[in-house]
Amino acid sequence: MKKSEEVYLYWLDNILDKNIKKQLKKLKKEQILSNFAESLHFGTAGMRGTMELGTNNINQLTVTKLAQSLSLYMQQNNQKSVVICFDTRKNSKQFAELFAKVLDKNKIKVYMFKKFAPTPLCVFATTKYKADFGVMITASHNNKTYNGIKIYGDLGIQINKNVQEEISNIFDKINEIDVYNDIYKHKLSKNVSVLSSKEIDDFTVSPQDKNRKNLKIVYTPLNGTGKRAVTKLLKQNGFMYKIPTKQKNASGDFKTCPYPNPEFVEAFNESLILAKKCDADIIVATDPDADRIGVMVKHNGEYIKLSGNEVGYIFAENALCKNTNENKFVVTSVVSSPLIDLICNKHNAKLFKTLTGFMSLGTKTYDLQKKYGENAFCLCYEESCGYVVKNSYYDKDGIYATLLICNIAETLKKQNKTLIDFLNEIYNKYGYMATIGDSVKFDGNNSFLKMQKIVNNLRQNKPDSILNEKITKVIDYQTENTGLEKQNFIEYRAKDIIFIIRPSGTEPKLKIYLFVKGEKETANLKAQKALKEIKTKLLK
């Protein structure tokens, strides 16, 4: 009998919850072999997986197992309190309540949101209530089959690798059946405080300009958590907006947007219909937990999607032109476009690059604000549409990023310009950079091992060229001393082409980051050819 079948039978024989026992009995053999083959692990933003029964998935047992791991870690470190928040996905509220039950059973103070709320609210409440941790139940921009858990420390920064490893070590020793059987009938005590919508009111306190704006906005929360906070900020600042009816209300089905990721133009299908009807100047989408934004702009009669890097250029240029601090700085990741280097150099601004993920970006931003002061902060961002645009905040925030992009677009409209005009001015100043973000997905058992095999092969058999351009430099972030923590990805540099291959920390996919310098039309064409060569020759 295979190990996965043994674990499955153990679950089936020992689980006390009759509903879960019934669901286990319905699993087919191929599901059993897949779902019990491995155990979940921490990635770059916590734990994430499909919502199925099994050790390799997000479900009642793995959620309570992680909650017990966090509880034991907190007891060892004399920590007392946790904020729990959840998004609009199926089972998110149930998972949040189970997490709270485990913490409550361990005598840990819990602040739990009564209704779904965005990730930025979880971060805000964690610092507001001086909690030791914040727990967000979300799978961010993944499709409806996924869910996950993000964990934040007391500063509102995703927990670092050391804390992750300590919790993971505890996690590996815990019997999830025992934990779940112990708490599934537990009733929450008075030690659990319920947080109301007042948190949104406190979070959205900001300088206001109630003068009526002329910018025509279509905003979509993609059936997620962003609507109340985003629209409150827009109203406070005089903006009018329209929301696609089918994407207005909370839903974990994402029927109009099966992959609710604002990085991709497909997420805008519904809002584009509305934008064309009302002649909108700009479309802004927040992902289901509202920590990322995507932007489309009407320019010369058509709607154009901005990439995550392009929004980053706009935010950086806007902030750097206004900030006169001699130590002004920008923080981004090593997989963001190299054009930001030129922008910062021109403004005599300090640029700091970290590894991917806001654990690294947020920590660096916090350290720099302590060193140079809050007023030196200009922007923190990553190319995957995550932005921090206000100081004293250290995780991506689609709520205030939405307000900022609308403010910039409104200012430009008064000058008879669009965000595309502003972007073209940036390219005229600093040169054009074609950027492509893509990925190769892996299915089936041992998908992460398959990815690792490909990356190891690239490590051992370095390519000599890309599109007949000689590769002049290879940076292996796992084996070389780059000044950053070791991480498993490789960067290749040729004359006008830079590309990076990185295994995702949350999904079974190899990510590709590609940058090509040159004139716009030729650089874009060259980038497409380079991407094809990478996918057909290097990632096989």
> Percentage of residues in the chain with pLDDT exceeding 90?
84
**Would the pLDDT of 3 be above 90?**
no
Residue that terminates a domain, selected from 431, 448, 481: 431
Distance of alpha carbon 518 from alpha carbon 24, whole angstroms: 56
Q: Which of 200, 231, 247 is the last residue of a domain?
A: 200
Same domain, 190 and 272: no
| Long-range pairs for 54-61: beta carbons < 8 A, 24 or more residues apart | 54/8, 55/7, 55/176, 58/95, 58/139, 58/146, 58/147, 58/148, 58/149, 60/17, 60/20, 60/94, 60/95, 60/98, 60/180, 60/184, 61/11, 61/15, 61/20, 61/176, 61/177, 61/179, 61/180
Cα Rg of the chain (Å, integer): 23
Same domain, 418 and 440: no
Would you tell me how many other CB atoms lie within 10 Å of the CB of residue 454?
17
pLDDT(444) > 80: no
Cβ distance 148 to 99 under 8 Å?
no
Confidence check: pLDDT of 398 > 90: yes
pLDDT band at 503 (very low <50, low <70, confident <90, very high): confident
Dihedral (CA of 275, 280, 282, 287) sign? negative
Are residues 467 and 427 part of one domain?
Answer: no
Residue 329 has pLDDT above 70, yes or no: yes
The pLDDT tens digits for 339-379 are 999 999 999 999 999 998 999 999 999 999 999 999 999 99
If one counts the domains in the chain, the total is 3
CATH assignment of the domain containing 528: 3.30.310.50
CB-neighbour burial class of residue 365 (10 A; exposed 0-12, middle 13-18, buried 19+)? buried
Structure tokens at 101: 């039950």
Going from the C-alpha of 371 to that of each of 127, 328, 367, 387, the distances in angstroms are 20, 11, 6, 21
CATH number of the CATH domain containing 287 = 3.40.120.10
Q: Could you tell me the CA-to-CA distances from 61 to 53, 57, 86, 258 in Å, in that order? A: 8, 9, 17, 26
Asked if residue 218 and residue 112 are part of one domain, the reply reads no
Q: Please tell me whether residues 516 and 417 are part of one structural domain.
A: no
**Cβ 154 vs Cβ 131: under 8 Å:** yes
Task: Indicate whether 269 and 410 sit together in one domain.
Answer: yes
pLDDT for 43 equals 64
Spatial distance between the Cα atoms of 53 and 205, rounded to a whole number of angstroms: 42
The Cα–Cα gap between 405 and 263 comes to 15
Is 60 exceeded by the pLDDT of residue 281?
yes
Chain segment 145-194, per-residue pLDDT in tens = 999 999 999 999 999 989 999 999 999 999 999 999 999 999 999 999 99
Reported as a single tens digit per residue, the pLDDT across 241-271 is 999 999 999 999 999 998 999 999 999 999 9
CB 138 within 8 A of CB 343: no
Residues spanned by the domain of 150: 3-200
The last residue of a domain, from among 140, 173, 200: 200
Same-domain check for residues 452 and 389: no
* Residues 17-59: tens digit of each pLDDT: 999 999 999 999 999 999 998 888 876 668 999 999 999 999 9
Let me know whether 184 and 315 are in one domain. Answer: no
pTM for the complete prediction? Answer: 0.94
Distance CA 337, CA 513 (A): 9
